[in-house]
Structure 1
Amino acid sequence: MTSLHDLHRPLGSTGLRVSPLGLGTVKFGRDQGVKYPNGFTIPDDASVRRLLDQARDLGINLIDTAPAYGSSETRLGPLLRGQRQDWVIVSKVGEEFDNGHSHFDFSAAHTRFSVERSLKRLETDVIDLVLVHSDGNDLDALQAGVYDTLAALKAEGKIRGYGLSGKTVAGGLQALASGDCAMVTYNLNEQAERPVLDYAAEHGKAILIKKALASGHACLQDGEDPIQASFRLIFSHPAAASAIVGTINPHHLSHNVSTAAAIIRASV
């Protein structure tokens, strides 16, 4: 069985090592206001547990969640009991999702409240990486108290690293200047944030890729399989530590792993 176990790589200078693919968990807890081409049903606990077991067996050790992902964090806590050492957990602050609508709060008080709540939900003493869940106004969000609070929480040992899941080059660059990581959109359709990857490569900072497959909309490139083309683009950049894939389909997960593994090994 093809796996990613021997392909883990450093997450910038955080001291963490992550698999080149991470498991996104929005579909574990939220089915409203999501931008996927097809509808889906939130899976039950047994199905999620099987998917987590499969991901771990395939060498995936990075799991991406957020308060804005509905019940994702709350479900992951019990499902990951006894496995905490096997996972690098990424969560977020800033965006809340209630009654079908998002709202944002980047204040110091809410940031601390949100991280403390995520620690309880995830049943852990430390979250490996916490990212600011931007509303698109990246620079305004970073100046609202959230970053100073995340730095304090890191100093307190409640998180190991922090950064921004943003939407602009300016936000990504500022987030990396004093933080550990930027999560950027980078795929066959959207490459505007490439300067953030370039900066990260030059300064030893971490990059996580969101929408790696364009939220399921990855387009064909000269007849090439879009998954292959997507991963070839992403992993050709030295800063790309891991691409988050938000699937709940076991076959898709296995195919993504085998495709990414083949491309990374061929490039070594």
Structure 2
Amino acid sequence: MEGLHSHYRNLGSTGLSVSPLGLGTVKLGRNQGVKYPSQFQLPSDDEARELIALAHDLGINLIDTAPAYGTSETRLGPLLAGQRHKWIICSKVGEEFSDGESHFDFSAAHTRRSVQRSLERLQTDYLDMVLVHSNGDDLAVLEQGAFDTLESLKREGLIRAFGLSGKTIEGGLAALQRSDCAMVTYNLREQAERPVLDFALAHGKGILIKKALASGHLCSEGADPVQEGLKLVLGHQAVASAIIGTINREHLKNNVAAALAVLGT
């Protein structure tokens, strides 16, 4: 199957070139408190290794993880051993998940500790991107020290780019004025945050899309919901990549095929 190798996009002005689909890894480490339509078992190490190898073969070079994704980071470290150069790794700060609940800390001290812990878990000496994992109160989150610390960590060479994974237009716009990129919800059902995409395009900022397929809930939208969803998302020039979380090899192949159809190959 043809892959996405010839369709990489610049993430704003970060210097990072990413595949138009990224591999979301919440399902590698967490199956509690997630908003997917059906229950699932965490994959074995062999299954996860095969999925990552398939993603690479299909031209995907972006992996999205987070401390809040249970054991995702811890598992990815050994799984990516020896192939760090092949991947753009995006992780997050601010949200922790334990005992079935999320807890938030956006302080400077926690932000630095969190990034150091992610580096250790992922067995790497730098992260390509770190996003602040907002609790929804985006503007308040931006005032609590995380962004200042991420700016310092970027200067220190521990991260290459930073931004906000937010939930509001106001938060996305404010974040992009102070950072490199934003992760935004945008799909066939939810397009309220489109002004953030438009601002990013006008100002050379990067955009990653979360919930591009509405967390698997788009099954009733149009004749081919995946293709229609990706047509909307990848059709906006600000969008560098849509993060698709799957542990199913066939779903991954189908998502790449749909993206290639949209991208006109």
Same fold flag (TM > 0.5): yes
User: How far does residue 264 in structure 1 lie from its aligned partner after superposition?
Assistant: 1.1
Contact kept in structure 2, 1:131 and 1:164, CA below 8 Å: yes
Hey, what's the Cα distance between the residues in 2 that align with 1:220 and 1:152? 45
Normalised to the residue count of structure 1, the TM-score between the two structures is 0.98
Superposition deviation, residue 6 in structure 1: 0.7
- Asked whether the 8 Å contact 2:134–2:165 carries over to 1, the reply is yes
Aligned length: 265
- Counterpart residue type for residue 77 of structure 1: G
Which whole-Å CA distance do the structure 2 matches of 1:218 and 1:163 have between them? 27
Partner of 2:229: 230
The 1-side partners of 2:23 and 2:231 are apart by: 19
Whether 1:78 and 2:78 are equivalent positions in the alignment is yes
After superposition, give the CA deviation of every residue in 1:47-67 in whole Å (9 maximum; x if it has no partner): 000000000000000000000
Q: Deviations over 1:46-98 (max 9, x none)?
A: 00000000000000000000000000000000000010000000000000001
Give the Cα–Cα distance (whole angstroms) in 1 for the partners of residues 63 and 12 of structure 2: 17
On the 8 A contact 2:138/2:166 being kept in 1, the answer is: yes
Q: Letter of the aligned partner of 1:63 in structure 2?
A: I
The 5-angstrom pairing of residues 191-230 of structure 1 reads 191-221=191-221, 223-230=222-229
Deviation at 1:224, TM superposition (A): 2.0
CA distance in 1, matches of 2:178, 2:19: 24
Partner of 1:130: 130
Instruction: Specify the SS of the correspondent of 1:160.
Output: strand
Aligned partners of 1:21 and 1:242 also within 8 Å: yes
CA displacement 1:115-147 (0-9 Å, x = unmatched): 000000000010000000000000111100000
**Are residues 1:142 and 2:145 paired?**
no
Structure-to-structure mapping, 1:83-232, within 5 angstroms = 83-221=83-221, 223-232=222-231
Q: Which blocks of at least 5 consecutive residues in structure 2 are unaligned?
A: none
Q: Is the CA contact (8 Å cut-off) linking 1:189 and 1:219 kept in structure 2?
A: no
Residues 3-39 of structure 1, C-alpha deviations (whole Å, 9 max, x = no match):
0011111111110100000000000000100000011
Shift of residue 236, structure 1, vs aligned partner: 1.3
Deviation of 1:219 (Å): 4.7
- Contact 1:188 1:219 (8 Å CA) reproduced: no
Deviation readout 1:213-249 (Å, 9 max, x if unpaired): 000001534x421001101101111001100000000
* C-alpha distance in structure 1 between counterparts of 2:259 and 2:220, whole Å: 17
**Moved >2 Å (runs of 4+):** none
Q: CA deviation at 1:2?
A: 1.9
Partner letter of residue 126 of structure 2?
V
Q: Which amino acid aligns with 2:228?
A: A
Identity level (%): 66
Distance 1:175 1:224 in 2: 36
Write the mapping of 1:30-41 to structure 2, written as runs, cut at 5 A: 30-41=30-41
- Measure the CA separation in 2 of the matches of 1:56 and 1:262: 19
Contact 2:5–2:58 under 8 Å retained in 1 = yes
Partners in 2 of 1:166 and 1:143 — Cα distance?
Answer: 14
TM-score, length basis structure 2? 0.99
Distance 1:260 1:192 in 2: 23
Can you list the C-alpha shifts for 1:158-184, whole angstroms capped at 9, x where unaligned? Answer: 000000000000000011001001000
Shift of 1:250: 0.2
